Amino acid sequence: MDYKKELDELTEWLKNALSFKLPSYKELPPVPLYMEQVVTYINTIMAPLSSGEKKNLTSFMVNNYVKAKIIDEPVKKKYDSNQLGYLLAIYSLKEVLNMSDISLLIEMDEDVSTDKSTLYRFYSRMSEDIISTRVGQAKDKVEMYKQSYERQKKAGNPKAEQYLNDELALMALRLSIKSSIDKILAEALLATIAKTTNKKELASTKTLHESKFVEKAALEESKRVAEAKAKISRKKKKEIESLEVSSKPKKQKKEKKK
């Protein structure tokens, strides 16, 4: 099986994600939208960063955000640009934080600015900087794995697909561990804010002690991943070098001078 098509699709997805930008505040719909229009609009805008339908925003989610007072209630069943701006931010945060955590962050908006356009612009720029850095790094690595795979296929290495899957799996695992640790740290920070201010308490049941335990376990796992990756890389390098040597045409022995 040739993985070229799948690799091309992954590379294209990363390319689109890397160039992703939220609409400016002025580009948000000037006319309030009904629920169905809101859901379609948000999911369309965020599509380049979505790798599956399970991450899509639904009307059920939006209703829950309203009930939890994370966003203001719609006026005559319509949502304005301010609510759309918050929903674009919530779309990304909902994969990491629970509703109470998100609510706490939104409550603190007033500490930054009361101008919604300023808040939205601040969030947009921060998101774009992080996306540019993280997705850019991932894209470079995938490109490197792709080139290595193509070289191995050309050299006739029967384990080219296996090595490619190993590299992608280790990369995914490493990103998952980092994401888990980042989530733990974010929860610890928000828990501290909730305890030291008059903001509403977080609903998360995870204690700081538990978070530290999970973080330690994740760090240990990260070390094991790094060691496994290094071992695979060394083995792969030796096999590639062996293939390259065997594929070179043998030089004819020079005739001995009489």
Mean pLDDT of 179-207: 74
Contacts of 51-54 with CB under 8 Å at 24 or more apart are: 51/13
Q: What is the CA radius of gyration of the chain?
A: 25
Mean pLDDT of 113-120: 90
- pLDDT band with cut points at 50, 70 and 90 for residue 18: very high
**Cα–Cα dist 78/54, whole Å:** 25
Question: Which of the pair, 173 or 218, is modelled with greater confidence?
Answer: 173
pLDDT tens-place string over residues 124-148: 999 999 999 999 999 999 999 999 9
Q: Is the pLDDT of residue 121 over 80?
A: yes
Closest CA to 92 of 61, 135, 46: 46
- pLDDT band with cut points at 50, 70 and 90 for residue 195: confident
C-beta neighbour count of 200 within 10 angstroms: 12
Please give the C-alpha separations between residue 146 and each of 17, 139, 219, in angstroms, as whole numbers: 18, 10, 28
Closest CA to 56 of 43, 66, 45: 43
**Cα–Cα dist 171/177, whole Å:** 10
Question: Which of the pair, 168 or 113, is modelled with greater confidence?
Answer: 168
Closest CA to 3 of 170, 160, 169: 160
Q: Is the pLDDT of residue 206 over 90?
A: no
- pLDDT band with cut points at 50, 70 and 90 for residue 5: confident
The count of C-alpha atoms lying within 13 angstroms of the C-alpha of 36, restricted to the half-sphere facing its C-beta, is 0
Mean pLDDT of 58-75: 93
Q: Is the pLDDT of residue 81 over 70?
A: yes
Residue type, 8: D
Tell me what percent of the residues of the chain surpass a pLDDT of 70.
Answer: 74
Mean pLDDT of 50-56: 69
The whole-number pLDDT of residue 249 equals 53
Q: Name the pTM for this structure.
A: 0.71
In whole numbers, what is the pLDDT of the chain averaged over residues? 82
Mean pLDDT of 175-197: 91
